Structure 1
Amino acid sequence: MAIMSPRSANYERLEGGMGPGRRTGLARFAWKKFAVAAVVLIGLVYFFGPREPKDLLKWHNEKEPVEHNAIAFPDDDEQLDSPPPLATIEPPPTSTHNEHNTTRPTSFESDPDPSKTVYCTTPHDPSAHLVQYALMIDAGSTGSRIHVYKFNNCGPSATYEYETFKMTQPGLSAYSGKAEEAAQSLDVLMEEAMRVVPEDLRRCTPVAVKATAGLRLLGTTESGAILDAVRDRLHMKYPFVLSETDGVVVMDGKDEGVYAWITANYLLNTIRADTPSDTPTYAVLDLGGASTQIVFEPKFSQPDSSLVEGEHKYDLAFGGKTHVLYQHSYLGYGLMRARKHVHQLVDFMASLRSAGDPSKPVGNPCLAKGTERVVSVDDKVPGETREVTMVGEEIGSFEACNRIVELVMAKDAICEVKPCSFDGVYQPSLMDSFPAGKVLLLSYFYDRLHPLLPKDATSPITVSTLSSLATDVCKGRPAWEARWGNDKEVMDELEGRPEWCLDMTFMHALLRLGYEFGAEREVRIGKQVDGTELGWCLGATIAMVGGTLTCRM
C-alpha cells in the first residue's frame, strides 16, 4: 500500500530558533534589527490607531543546523486539551458495509472481534497475520498521544480500518533532567495499547515514539537522555516490537509535514491504489507550537515549469503512484514561538519609548482590548528572562497587531532562489502551481478557528473569514458579546486567553502574507475524518507497516 522515501529518521536540529535571522552570532537578538527598522520606518504610531494592513510577505531558508540557547518552554501550552471530535471536512462517500454486507467497525468498541476482520477470513499472503496492529506515540510539546491503528491483510498490502486514541499530559519535554520519570509517563498510553491489541498479536505489533517540537527545544543531550530512557522502558516492560534504529527518535520536520499530507489525502481517498490518477490532492498546512509546515503537490500549467531541485522537493511513491511534493517546515514560526517573538518585539519597542519603571505595564496591540497578560521575555543577560505585564488597554486591534506580525514574518529576507513566500524560502507561487486546489488547515488552525465558527458549519471558509474573526476578537468583550454572547464556552475561552487576538492575527498573516493566498481563497479546517485523527501519525504508521515487519521472540 505504501512505499515511501522519508528523507531522514532523526531530526538533530533544534526547532524554535528566533524566527527571522538564524546566523550564530545574531540569532538571539535578530529581532532587534526589525524592531529598530520598525521604529525608523513606522514609528511608535504603530501602537495607536488602526490603519489598513499592508499586503507584505517573506521567507528565509535555513541552510545549516544551528543550535540556539533557547529557553525550553511549553510551546503549545494553551492548545485545547480535547477539541470536539468534529471535523469540518467530510470524507468521500464510502460504504459502511463490506461485500458480505457486514457492518464495518469504526472503533475498538464497535469491533465484534479485534483479532479478526469483517472484510475477509484469510489473509492475502498466507504467511501474514489476518489482522495487523501498529502503535504510534506522538511525543508533543504539551502531551504525549498514542494512536493504536488496526489494519487488515485481506489484500496485497495492509488496509487501514480504525484507530484508538489516548492522550496524557504533560509532554516528555516537561521532564528535563528526569529521564526515568519521562519514560514512566508513557505507561498510561502503553496500558491502553495492552487493552486494545489482542494478546496473540502483541509480539508482532510495531511501536514507535516520534518526538516533535518539545524535545527539539531541549537540545540533543537532554532529549537524548529522555529518548534512551523511553527506549529502555518500552523494551523491558512491554511485548511490542521496537525498532532499534528509528523506534524512538526526534522526527525530522520535513517528514512531519509529508506524513500529515499522507494522512489527510489517504483518509480523503485521493491517493489510494484504487483512486483515479487524475484525482486532485489536498494541500496540507499544519500549525504547531514551535513550527509550521506546508505540503502540496504542484501542478504547473506551463510545460517548461517545474519544481526547483532542493531539500524542499519530496518524491513520494504511494499506492502505486508517484507524487512530487513541495514541502517545508518553518522552524520558529509555530504559534507559541510567534507569540514569543511578538512579545519580545513589543517589549523592545516599549523600552525605546521610555526608560521608566520596567515593572510598568506595557501596551500590546496584540492583546484584546481590556485584557492583560503576564508574559516572559528574554532579558538583556543571555539565558535569563523576566516577567512583563502586557495590556491591551484601548490599543488592541487586528490592524495594529497585524503590523507587528508583519515584522515578525520577515518579508524582506533575501530570496536566493525565486520565487519566495516569506523568510527567504523558495516556494512556487500557489497562484500558478496550486490555483484551485483544496487546502486543509490542521492543529492550531483548527483549535483556534473551530470554536468561533457556527456549530453547524460544514462548508469551507475563506481567508477573509480569519480577518473578520480576528477583528472582533481583538476588539474585546463588547464585540465578543455581539458575536458570541449566547455561547458561554466561547466567551470563557476568550476571557481566559487574551492572546487569542495575537493567535488569530498571526494565522491570518501566515495565510495571507506568508503563503500569499487570496482573501477569498477557500480553506477547510479539520480535526478528524471518519473518526480518525488528522496529523502526521497515520502517515508515519503506514510507512512503518509498509516496511518489513518482524515479530519479537
Structure 2
Amino acid sequence: MFSQRTSNQYERLEGGMGPGRVGSRRFGWKKFAIGAAVIIGLVWVFGPRREDLIPEKYMPSIIRPNPSEDTAEPPLNPTEQITRPPARPTDDDDDDIIPPHLPSVRPTDPASDPDPSKTVYCTSPYKPSQPLVQYALMIDAGSTGSRVHIYKFHNCGPSPTYEYEVFKMTKPGLSSYKYSPLEAAESLDVLLDEAVLVVPAELRACTPVAVKATAGLRLLGVEESAEILEAVRRRLQDRYPFSLQGVDDVVIMDGKDEGVYAWITANYLLNTIRGDSPPGAETHAVLDLGGASTQIVFEPKFDSLKPDSTLEEGEHKYELTFGGKTHVLYQHSYLGYGLMQARLGVHRLIEFMGNMRGSPTDPATKIGNPCLAKGTTRLVEIDDERHSEKWNVTMVGEDIGSFEACNRVVEIVMAKDAICEVKPCSFNGVYQPSLMETFPSGDILLLSYFYDRLQPFLTTMDPPPPIHVSTFETLAKQVCEGKPSWEKYWGNNADLMEELEDRPEWCLDLTFMHALLRLGYELAGDRQIEIGKQIEGTELGWCLGATLAMVGADLKCRV
C-alpha cells in the first residue's frame, strides 16, 4: 500500500551526494581541493550511513513527498482507516528520526496476532480516554442461519481502525423456532461461545454485542418474533459477559438498512467512499440475495439536461454522508423474493396450476415440476397460508424440466406486469430508476446466494471467465437438462456432481437468479457483473457497515 516514489532530494541523500546546491562557487586551490577530497573520502568510508541510522525493516516504508506536494493530511472519517498509513516524515525531518512503527506482518486473525489484547500498530491509544483495543460483536440472525462477526479494532488514530474479523455460523435460523423462544436463544450459544474464546477476558465487559434479525423474523407473527428476541436478550444478559448498548441492540432490522449497510461494507472495503479513495472513484451497485428477501442499492446518475430526470421522493431514497461526501442512493428490499421464499412461491404456483392438491397423509401424490432438473424428484411441503393448511407433494422433473419452461413460471411469480404507479418499475410494481440509463457502466457486485450458487461452477474453470448476466442462463440450461448434461460438463468434478444430485432445485435457483437480473432489474444479458463473499478476509454483507456505526458511537461497558 506504500508508494516507493521518492523525491530527487531524498535520492541524493541516499546516494551519498548530499543536498543539491544551485550556483555554488568553484574553488581553484588544488591543495584545498585535494585535502577536502581526502577528508570527504574518509568520512564516506568510515562515517555512519543512513542505513545504519534506520533499521533495514523500516526502509521500504519511509516516503518522502516532493517539496511541491501538499503534505497536509485530510481529516479522517471515523470509519475509513483500514489501510491508511501513519503520518509521513517530511524533508525537514532529521536523517536520524525514529521511524513510525509499521509492522512487517499485520495480523489477519487471532492465530497471526501476537497479542489479541494489544495491537501491533501502536503502544498507546490516540486519546487517553479510549481503550487501546476494541472488539465488537454483530450477530446476523438470517432466515436460514445465524452468523457471528467478531471484529477487532484499535484506537491508534482519532477514531477506531478496523483490523480483522472472526466469522462463524450455525443453522437453522431463529425463525425456525417459531414456538420455542428459549431454543431459539440457545441456538446462538455456539456463536457466543466462540466470541468468548476470541475476545480477551479483560476486554469482554466493554465489547458491544448486537443481534439484528432480518427477513426470517419479519415473516413471523409480531408476537412470535417479539418473544424470540426477548429470549435472546435475556440469555445474553444472564449467560454472557458482553455489553448490550440499548434499545436497538436486539431487533428486527429494517430492510432498507440491511441493503444500505451492505453497500457501505462493500464500497468501504473496495475503497470507493473513504476519504482516501481515489478522486472520481465510482461506487459499486450491491445486489444481495438472502433466503427471505433480496436488496438492491446503487447510486444513480441522472442527466441534468433531461426534464424530470431525478430520483423520485419516497422511502427508496437514502441520503448518506460518508467520507466527507454525500451519496444519494436508491434502495429497496423485496420481502418474499429471497431464494427460499422464491422456491416456495414457485412450488405453490405449480401445485395450483396442476390442480393436484395432495394431503399430509398421501405424500406419494406426484406433480410434474419444470423447475426441477430432468430425472430428479423432490418432496415439497406446500404451505397454504390462506387456509392455514400444509401438505406434502412429490414433485418430479421427469422429462419436462427445462430452463424455458421454468422461466415462464418464475415470470408469473415475479409479477412483472403488476400495476406501476410511479414509473419506471422493476417488478411487483416497485419504482426503480433504470439501471441501463442511470447506472449504465458502473460495477455491479452480487452477494450471498448469488455467490453460493455460481461459485461452484467457476471453480471448474481455470482461469474463471468473466461473469455476465447471461452466465446464469447458460448454466441454468445445462443444469435443468439433468444428469447426462451434468456429466458432460462437470463429470470430472465429484464435489459438484454430488451437490447437483443432492439439490434438484438448483435448476430453479439459477433460473430465478437470471430472471431477477434480466427481467426484474432489466440488466442486459451481456452486462458484466462480479460476485463476492469476502474482500481481504472480511465477509461482505451488511454487518461491517452496521458495526462501524456502533463502534463510532459512545460505548457503554458492562458493570
The within-5 A match list for 1:97-136 is 100-136=102-138
Q: Which residue of 2 aligns with 1:508?
A: 514
- In the alignment, which of 499, 502, 513 is matched to residue 496 of structure 1? 502
Deviation for aligned residue 1:275: 1.0
> Are residue 324 (structure 1) and residue 335 (structure 2) matched?
no
Structure 1 SS opposite 2:110: coil
Give yes or no for the alignment of 1:419 onto 2:432: no
Aligned equivalent of 1:210: 212
**Rounded Cα–Cα distance in structure 1 between residues aligned with 2:381 and 2:444:** 35
- In the alignment, structure 1 residue 551 sits paired with structure 2 residue 557: yes
Q: Which moved more, 1:357-366 or 1:473-482?
A: 357-366
Partner of residue 311 from structure 1, selected from 274, 292, 315:
315
Question: Is 1:408 aligned with 2:410?
Answer: no
Hey, what does 2:488 align to over in structure 1?
482
Query: Which blocks of at least 5 consecutive residues in structure 1 are unaligned?
Result: 5-91
Letter in 1 for 2:311: L
Shift of 1:331: 1.0
Q: Using the alignment, how far apart are the partners of 2:464 and 2:279 within structure 1?
A: 27
The alignment partner of 1:329 has SS state of: strand
Q: In the alignment, is the contact (CA less than 8 A) between 2:446 and 2:529 conserved in 1?
A: yes
Distance 1:321 1:463, change over 3 A: same
Q: Mark the CA change 1:162 to 1:521 in structure 2 (over 3 Å): closer, same or farther.
A: same
Mean alpha-carbon deviation: is it higher for 251-260 or for 315-324?
A: 315-324
Match status 1:392 vs 2:394? no
Is 1:539 matched with 2:541?
Answer: no
Matching residue within 462, 472, 477 for 2:468: 462
> For 1:508-552, what per-residue CA distance to the aligned partner results, in whole angstroms no more than 9, with x for missing partners?
000000000000000111111111111111111111111221222
Deviation at 1:116, TM superposition (A): 1.6
Q: Deviations over 1:302-333 (max 9, x none)?
A: 34522111100111112222111110000111
- How many pairs were matched up? 462
Aligned-partner residue type, residue 442 of structure 2: G
Change (3 A) 1:485 1:124: same
> d(CA) in 2 for partners of 1:380 and 1:262?
36
Q: Write out aligned runs for 1:134-283 (5 A).
A: 134-283=136-285
Q: Is the CA contact 2:149–2:165 (under 8 Å) kept in the aligned structure 1?
A: yes
Residues 57-136 of structure 1 mapped to structure 2, 5 A cutoff:
100-136=102-138
Of 518, 528, 531, the residue aligned with 1:525 is 531
Cα distance between partner residues in 1 of 2:554 and 2:179: 35
Percent identity (aligned): 69
Report the Cα distance in structure 2 between the residues aligned to 1:261 and 1:352, rounded to whole angstroms. Answer: 43
Q: 1:138 to 1:380 in 2, by over 3 A?
A: closer
1:341 aligned to which of 341, 345, 364: 345
Q: Can you list the C-alpha shifts for 1:376-401, whole angstroms capped at 9, x where unaligned?
A: 12359711111111111111100111
Residues of 2 paired with 1:465 and 1:374: CA distance? Answer: 29
Give the counterpart letter for 1:314 in structure 2: Y
Q: Structure 2 counterpart of 1:275, which letter?
A: S
Do the aligned partners of 2:363 and 2:394 also contact (CA within 8 Å) in 1? no
Q: How far apart are the structure 2 equivalents of 1:480 and 1:93?
A: 44
Contact 1:3–1:547 (CA under 8 A) maintained in structure 2: no
- 2:134 is paired with a residue whose SS is strand
Cα distance between partner residues in 2 of 1:102 and 1:358:
63
Instruction: Name the CA distance, whole Å, in 1 between partners of 2:489 and 2:147.
Output: 34
Give the corresponding residue for 2:51: none
The question of whether the paired residues in 2 share the 8 Å contact of 1:264 and 1:535 is answered with yes
Task: Specify every segment of 5 or more residues in structure 2 that has no aligned partner in the other structure, as ranges.
Answer: 1-75, 86-99
Alpha-carbon distance between aligned partners in 1 of 2:464 and 2:165, rounded to the nearest angstrom: 23
Structure 2 contact 356–367 (Cα < 8 Å) conserved: no
Structure 1 residue identity aligned to 2:542: W
Q: Residues 531 and 353 of structure 1: is their aligned pair in 2 closer, same or farther, counting only changes over 3 Å?
A: closer
Taking structure 1 as reference, are residues 506 and 233 closer, same or farther at Cα in structure 2, changes over 3 Å only?
same
Larger Rg: 2
Q: Does residue 303 of structure 2 align to residue 301 of structure 1?
A: yes
Alignment of structure 1 residues 421-440 onto 2, 5 Å: 421-440=426-445
Counterpart of 1:445 in structure 2 is 450
Q: Deviations over 1:152-196 (max 9, x none)?
A: 112222111100111222222222222222222222211211111
Aligned-partner Cα distance in 2 for 1:441–1:148: 23
Q: Secondary structure at the match of 1:190?
A: helix
SS of 1:447 mapped into structure 2: helix
Equivalent pair of 2:103/2:120 in contact (CA under 8 Å) = no
Structure with bigger RCO (C-alpha 8 Å, 6+ apart): 1
Q: Equivalent residue of 2:315, what SS?
A: coil
In 1, the alpha carbon distance for the partners of 2:482 and 2:354 equals 22
SS of match in other structure, 2:388: coil
TM-score for the superposition, normalised by structure 1: 0.80
Alpha-carbon contact 1:3-1:317 (below 8 Å) kept: no
Q: CA deviation at 1:457?
A: 4.6
Q: Is the 8 A contact 2:210 2:244 kept in 1?
A: yes
Q: CA RMSD in A?
A: 2.3
Q: Secondary structure at the match of 2:432?
A: coil
Could you tell me how far apart the structure 1 residues matched to 2:379 and 2:356 are?
20
The worse-fitting range, judged by mean Cα deviation, of 114-123 and 283-292 is 114-123
Task: Find the aligned partners of 2:468 and 2:259 in 1 and give their Cα distance.
Answer: 22
Q: Is the aligned partner of 1:351 residue 2:355?
A: yes
Moved more, 226-235 or 170-179: 170-179
In the superposition, the TM-score normalised over structure 2's length comes to: 0.79
Aligned runs of 1:19-30 on 2, under 5 Å? Answer: none
Instruction: Give the drift of 1:231.
Output: 0.7
- d(CA) in 1 for partners of 2:101, 2:467: 37
Trace 1:2-13 onto structure 2 (pairs within 5 A). Answer: none
Give how far 1:214 is off.
Answer: 2.1
Q: Displacement of 1:101 after TM fit?
A: 4.2
CA distance in structure 2 between the aligned counterparts of 1:158 and 1:398, rounded to whole angstroms: 49
Aligned equivalents of 2:78, 2:319: Cα separation in 1: 11
> Which residue number corresponds to residue 62 of structure 1?
none
Rounded to whole Å, the distance in 2 between the matches of 1:221 and 1:146 is: 25
Deviation at residue 241 of structure 1 after TM alignment: 1.3
Q: Is the 8 A contact 2:78 2:159 kept in 1?
A: no
Query: For the structure 1 residues 194 and 394, does the alpha-carbon distance in structure 2 shift closer, same or farther, using more than 3 Å as the test?
Result: same
SS of the residue corresponding to residue 355 of structure 2 reads helix
Letter in 1 for 2:546: A
What's the CA shift string for 1:267-324, capped at 9, x where partnerless? Answer: 1111122113421111110001111000011122334522111100111112222111
Residues 379 and 543 (structure 1), Cα distance of their counterparts in 2 relative to 1, 3 Å cut: closer
How far apart, CA to CA, are the structure 2 residues paired with 1:428 and 1:507? 20
Equivalent residue letter for 1:427: Q
1:137/1:352 CA distance change after superposition, 3 Å: closer
Distance change (3 Å), C-alpha of 1:379 and 1:217: closer
Q: Deviations over 1:323-345 (max 9, x none)?
A: 11110000111111111111111
Aligned residues of 1:341 and 1:408 also touching (Cα < 8 A): yes
Q: Deviations over 1:444-499 (max 9, x none)?
A: 10111111123445554001111000000000011100110000111111111111
Cα distance in structure 2, aligned partners of 1:462 and 1:228: 44
Aligned-partner Cα distance in 2 for 1:181–1:100: 47
SS of aligned partner of 2:246: coil
Note the alpha carbon deviations across 1:237-271, whole angstroms, 9 max, x for none: 22211023111001111111111111111111111
